[in-house]
Structure 1
Amino acid sequence: MSHTAHIPSHRKPRRSASKLALRAGVAGGVLGTIAVAGAAGPASAEPVTETIEMPTLGSLDTAGLASAVAASAETSQQEALDQSLQAQENAALQKAAKEAKKAKAEADRKAEAERAEKARAEAEAKAQAEQERKDAEERASRDAARTQLSTTSTSNSSSGSGVSDSGSGSGSSSDSGSSTGSSTETQAPSGTAAAIVAFARAQIGDAYVMGGTGPNSWDCSGLVQAAYAQAGIDLPRISGDQSSRGTSVSLSNLQPGDVLYWGSRSGSYHVAIYVGGGKYVGAQNPSTGVVERSLDWDTPSGAVRIL
């Protein structure tokens, strides 16, 4: 029986290769033993005539070796394919994570922008409502002041009529005073008053800003203070302090440069400058800015003369 007759074929390359190596070693050992035995025998021994059949490379299951090599190559190829697929999966996961992070950042940015826009709109609405409330209070206060002034004027007129009835001389004197006041009112401003009036009129169209002192935005007392500063006269910053200066004059005896006030003299909430011709210039409110108006448009509570 051949030495290789029952060598099984295995698919796994490592086991097949190890068996092949073992069998090659056995064959080598047999050959070595025969060689030693031959050398140790007597020289006169007869030569061996029997032929021993040695295994050849072809007889060592060449088909099994080829199958093992093919299986090893297939395994290596499968491992390479698996590694490639794993690398593609990892790259896809990294890309998806990056895109998700970017999408989240964009969503957060949009949400923050929407919150900021909403807060800005709410702040603007609140500021507008507050300004409307202040304007309404200002109008109500001026209406009350006009009502009080009208009541006072009616009372003064009644008193004046009584004095006139008691004597014709007093009546003549009163008429003379009214005539003088009217004549003074129509005179053009000159000197210091002219400088004050010219400065005030030059600011018409400027914006109204609470606390504004120029050069392009004013509040009511800021404009009066700056106009008088042009004439070298220092006035306080607050309207109540400004209307407390000088001497009180009636609205029928106004002169250009007089300071008009609304409210009480020591606690006025608004001031303007009389410019002659029954008109005044003042920084009214954020809606109108600096304007020139008739006394009838918003009749002041009183006036003071500082010049």
Structure 2
Amino acid sequence: MKARNQTAISEFLLLGLTEDPALQPLVFSLFLSMYLVTIMGNLLIILAVSSDSHLHTPMYFFLCILSANDICLSTSTVPKMLVNILRQDQSITYSGCLCQVCFFIIFVGLENCLITVMSYDRYVAICHPLKYTVIMNPRLCAVLVLLSLVISIVHALLHTLMVLRLSFCTDLEIPHFFCELAQVLKLACSDTLINNLLVYLVAVLFAGVPLSGIIFSYVHIVYSVLRMPSSGGKHKAFSTCGSHLSVVSLFYGTGLGVYISSAVTDSSRKSAVASVMYSVVPQMLNPFIYSLRNRDMKVSVRMLMGRTPSVL
């Protein structure tokens, strides 16, 4: 196929999860429901933490940032898909596609960093409880969030700028419901060796370093908990880590599942369906994990819900 310069490209086509028109209303309803649950669930977490002074601690500060990030991550992909289904139009502009690639990478990277920061917070709280308020002071918490954001932005801009150097073929169909970097690179007619090497290198760093930090934190946490004399103290320590461990398992588990699915199947459409598990589902489930497994959160949410009718 004849390549054309990237400046001449006006749009890509997002093929979505299915080509069957009869299934489009079902897909629309499913994703709209998941998106609304994601927005409302994460907003509820933010409001509950903000309204309860007992939850104004580093752990819940990071949880609020994570919830806000989950809203942004879902918003970067799902609304465009819903609009395309409603309009029966699969197109997305070239600039819109690159923006979607950039923002998706930013929010996924920030999620990864925040999960790591939260594991460090739990490490300090359990292994160094007497120094917790000194170590996890407001300044350090803000610096950790800002550093995570800067790293994520640099990471996303690096990939996005590298895509700008590519030329694309006349076939601009993306077998996905959003512009995923790997799928965009497959459409390029110019050499993508540097892009692919960069993807694998950064993926190893972004997955390996944070995951190593999480494992390091929890090895020390388990060691400290096992040394506690009382069973009540052990139960309390493990319960405070249970929600975070569930989020870690969901985030890395779904990501690994999508990677394995992409490796064992040649179908891009099946890979797109599998990618829903890491691009939509974790953001929807995170509020439920924290609100159902955390006693303080359950109390705060009930208080917030109890006040809502009187306000209305």
Is the structural similarity TM-score above 0.5? no
User: Relative contact order (C-alpha < 8 Å, sep 6+): which is higher?
Assistant: 2
Give the structure-1-normalised TM-score: 0.25
Higher helix share: 2
Higher radius of gyration, 1 or 2: 1
Give the structure-2-normalised TM-score: 0.25
Higher strand share: 1
